[in-house]
Amino acid sequence: MDTSSSDAASQSRFQPSKNLRKDAKGAMKTAIDVLSIAASMTQGVPYLGIVSGALTEFVKMADEVDAFKSDWKAVTAVARQIQSIIDEMRDKYKQAEEGGTFPQELAKPFEELERCIGHALETLNNCKIGSKRLRDRARAILNRGDLSSDVKQCRADMQAALDLFNTKLNIINAIALDGFINKRATALPANAVTAAAIVLPPAPGIFYGREQEVDHIVNLFSKTPARVTILGSGGIGKTSIALTVLHHPKLVEAFAERRYFLSCEAVSTADGIVQELLNMFGLVHDPKGNAIPLNVLLSYLKTVSTVILCLDNIETPWDADIEAVEMLLSMFANLPNLSLIVTSRGTDRPMGVAWTRPLLPPIVPLAVEAALQTWEMICDSRDEYAERLVKAVDCVPLAVTLLAHLAQSESSEVLWTRWEEERTELLRVRGPEHRLNNVERSIELTLSSPRLRDDTSSLLLLSTVCALPQGLRECHMSAYAKSFAEHLPKLRQSVTTLKQCSLAYSSQDGFLRVLSPVRHYMQTRRPITDPLFTCLSDFYCKLVDQPSNSYAADVVYSRHNIQPELGNISSILSQSLTRSGDSPGRFLRAVVAFTDRCRCINFFDIVLVLQAIDVAKSDSKATPELLAHLYQAKGEALHFQGQHLYPHARAAFKIAYQYYYDIHISDGIGLCLQRIGEICHHLGDFSHVEMSLELAMEYYSESKNSSGQADCLLSLATYHVHFGRLEHADEAIKAALDRYKKTDNRLGEATSLRELASVYILLDRHSDADNTLFSSVKLSDEIGDRLGEAHTLRIAAEMFIRDGLFDTAEVAINRAISLYENLGSSSGKVDGLCTLGLLYHRLQQWDKAIDTLETALEISHHISYKVGHGLAIIRLADVSKDNGDPDLALGLLATAIQLFGSIYYAFYENMARERLFNLCLEAQAAEEESKDGESESAPSANGESSSSADQALDWIRADYSGFSYGSVASFQETMLDALRNGTYKPSIDASKPHTFKYPDAEYTIRLPRPGETFYFGPNNGGERNDDDKDGSEEAINSPGPEQYATDENEVRDIEGCAVEGDVAKTEKGKAKEVVL
């Protein structure tokens, strides 16, 4: 190329800015000079060395920059990969023809690389924060936002350059380079063998989470020759692992340029593999000669020193030509200088080869964090929807990669919406229909392989497994084989085939499962047939509809057979209702049986129950008893979800009650009345609580249901505790315990003992509490009552805290919280977190205590669990007080008083008032001490004593008429005495609004003026906005989801009972008044 052309190239390919030339010194100047030289050269072997040198200088400087360290680290990581490719090309081209030029197809990637390095040098120069010159430092600080964007752009440009190199090299590897390197190949005589320079595909630029697999394989090469298999499903990352291993420094050192890679994806026979290897090595076989192609290949391989060969996707020719491919691999394995790596879709290895041990297990999906790192490296961001997406595709690398590329042009939130609608159809990017561009294409390649395309039984089994969210439970495989005997006579053989093809795998929890992309593809493209679905439906209907013996036996059965397959059962019963047509009766009864079983393990599928109710209402054959059971199940499910759904639960129990009343099923009537009474208690509708529970006991008595009566007594005991009537609660619990023992209801017995221990703690009878709680723990463990175990552990933890056994308390409460989470009990978790906060308080771990209690506040607010919310506030107030923030404690305690007062929970309201009173006393004592004996506050201008004490009394004191808890009276007397004798004076002026911050927003507390209620809410100067609801109520009351609402028109009049407020003459008529 002449000077003019060189100048033109230089002008068009790299032009550093004036500022860059002016500022450049040292390494920066060297890098600019090197890049300028490269830009003026013909693109040949010397040019490759110059570009590599420019990259070396750039990487050195980037490693030394302190600003945007993590971003520059990502840029240099890609730059090193590009440099590795260039160095490898230079060495191989130099061996082929010194000083030669390379194909025009590579000109564009190198021009882009020059531009990319130039822009990176400019950005590096602007990031010189370490410069002593004021100008450089000021410029870096003022332009920090722009610089951050520039560095990220450098990273994107460098990655784009790497991708362009990889693409071009893959295209020309088998075409352009063959003519470039071997110009004289066609002139070789027959049977001649010659070597050619071969460009190894680069290692993947984005590669996370496979360090263990790579290290495993590399360690196998400590003694050569090694023979290694990399197995797994399509898109799992086998090829990426193989290429990373081939480029590993240890293997580069051991094999140098003798590392070869052949894709067998387009090869269908052993002879095809031989011919592709001959082409790759540049070997020419004369068809007229005596030597066969295999001998030519083996002769050449014997002459080469230690060599490593990777055969990628060996399953394609192996499935089609099993014996010949295994024979060929055996011959390769007999070469002492040849190490072998093969990748294959499946879990079995070709026979005839002594594969090096320890064998590498089949590759599994990425860990979530590795999948998210892959995502972030591709699209430079991650959020909650990105995490949802990678989990939805089971962290399969190919699916994650394709989704991340889509996220470059669409938000992850939009992609999540599309995924829910399109499923595997979404998993494709622009380009040819290739397995690396399209997940569905990759799956279909496996399904249409020679091993599977004619195996109807295995494909039918695959569609069956994919119809189950959890897969087939392997301990039930014999039962499945009997159920499917007519349609899948070779079920066990098909299971083996699916595992060998990596379409199914055995999970750690004992299920035969399919990865998410395959499952969704099968559901859409090859769904389960009707006969097979009927078999599944029959199997699960029988599983849930087993005769009940005793509660303990029911718990054991449900835990062993129902709980592990909750997802499968819910899904199949839901689909059965959809497919049932005009005869849903059997499946409706199965839903009722399922909900009864689930009650033993504290699981409620409200969505399934709602679907069943809709189907039953449309079925003319549905009986009143069936409808009553379904509405009862709806009430139980909503009741379990949390207080925010209690009104809807009560409405469901009302309808169930009416159906039971029509056909006079006493147990059903009693249960509905019991639940209505319990819900009225939680909702603060106290006028109906005792009446409902007493009527429920009458109906239970009519049916001789002693356990039901005992349940009502326990509910009454809880009601008594609410109002501080602890002695009444003690009597009711003991009466319940006696009934449970007579009926051998061990669950009820354990529950009664636990509740009795709680009352003993409140009565300061700690010895009795310890003994009773121990008995409860023992019983709960024997019968497998996990929820009861959680409650007991929580109570025990509080006792351990009381006794100073903090380590034991921490173990107990963390176990309780874990059980609550597993059981889905949000209110239980709130109670547990309150106890854990108390523990951290006692340990003076303030940050942990605050974080824990704020989590309890958040959850209780979300589920409208007022009691738990208030208790968390009291505990947080205790922490604030002891952590030196009495003003915050004051505001929190005032909030707790208002909250518990709004729900008439006298026990906890009194607890908050006592704390508030003591806090005021302590503040006053501190104030008096600081005044060092100065006179007390002067009387008011009108001659009366300070009104602060009277107003504080109005604030703290409450009307406890009819309240029998003794400490309340003593508390009031103590407070009144303190006010009268002047030992108590508020530390704030109670007549004025008091403002405090928590955690960041300001809040105002103002004592009630005549005719007003207590105010606590966001700061607006202490004046209440009449347009707003009370702050605490608004924070705690949240409406239930509309889909759970019960149509009140369904509440029918009961024949023989008065309506519209009239009370029936019979005693049973009271029930109507309570319910309606």
Mean pLDDT of 781-791: 82
Question: Which has the higher per-residue pLDDT, 127 or 1004?
Answer: 127
Average pLDDT of the residues in 376-388: 92
Share of the chain above pLDDT 90, in %: 44
Once rounded to an integer, what is the mean pLDDT over residues 480-495? 94
The span from the CA of 118 to the CA of 764, in Å, is 79
What is the reported pLDDT for 212?
96
Report whether pLDDT(1076) > 50: no
What pLDDT does residue 978 have?
44
What dihedral angle (degrees, nearest 10) is formed by the CA atoms of 745, 749, 751, 757? Answer: 180
Read off the pLDDT of each residue in 345-368 and give the average, rounded to a whole number.
94
Written as six digits, the tokens of 326 are 């295994």
User: Which pLDDT score, from 0 to 100, does residue 943 have?
Assistant: 42
Q: Among the residues of 621-725, which ranges form H helices?
A: 624-641, 646-663, 666-683, 689-702, 706-722
pLDDT over threshold 50, residue 334? yes
Position with higher pLDDT, 887 vs 479: 479
Could you give the residue ranges of the DSSP H alpha helices within 993-1030? none
How do residues 71-103 score in pLDDT, each as one tens digit?
A: 777 788 778 888 878 877 777 666 554 444 566
Written as one string, the DSSP assignment of 823-889 is HT-HHHHHHHHHHHHHHHHHTT-HHHHHHHHHHHHHHHHHHT-HHHHHHHHHHHHHHHHHTT-HHHH
pLDDT of residue 145: 58
What's the whole-model pTM score?
0.64
**Residue whose tokens read 């249409």:** 448
pLDDT tens track for 996-1041 = 443 444 444 443 333 333 333 334 333 333 333 333 323 323 333 3
pLDDT of residue 985: 39
**What does the alpha-carbon distance between residue 1076 and residue 443 come to, in Å, rounded to a whole number?**
59
Are 682 and 1061 contacting, i.e. CB atoms less than 8 angstroms apart?
A: no
pLDDT of residue 230 exceeding 80, the answer is yes
Give the Cβ contact number of residue 309 at 10 Å. 20
- What is the strand order of the sheet 505-506 is part of? 472-473, 511-513, 505-506
* The predicted structure's pLDDT at residue 24: 67
pLDDT in tens, 725-775: 889 999 999 999 999 999 888 888 988 998 999 898 888 888 888 888 888
d(CA 76, CA 74): 6
The predicted pLDDT at position 918 comes to: 80
Q: Report, in this order, helix, strand and coil percent for the chain, each rounded to 5.
A: 65, 5, 30
Taking only the tens place, the pLDDT of each residue in 520-550 is 999 999 999 999 999 999 999 999 998 877 7
Nearest to 103 by CA among 35, 160, 169: 169
Say what the pLDDT of residue 158 is: 80
Q: For the segment 964-1005, what is each residue's pLDDT rounded down to a tens digit?
A: 333 333 444 444 444 444 443 333 343 444 444 434 444 444
More confident residue, 302 or 943: 302
Q: Using only C-alpha atoms, what is the Rg of the chain? A: 39
How confident is the model over 579-599, as pLDDT tens digits? 988 789 999 999 999 998 988
Instruction: Give the domains, in start order, of the chain with CATH numbers.
Output: 3-181 (no CATH), 188-345 (3.40.50.300), 368-447 (no CATH), 459-528 (1.10.10)
Mean of all residue pLDDT scores within the chain: 79
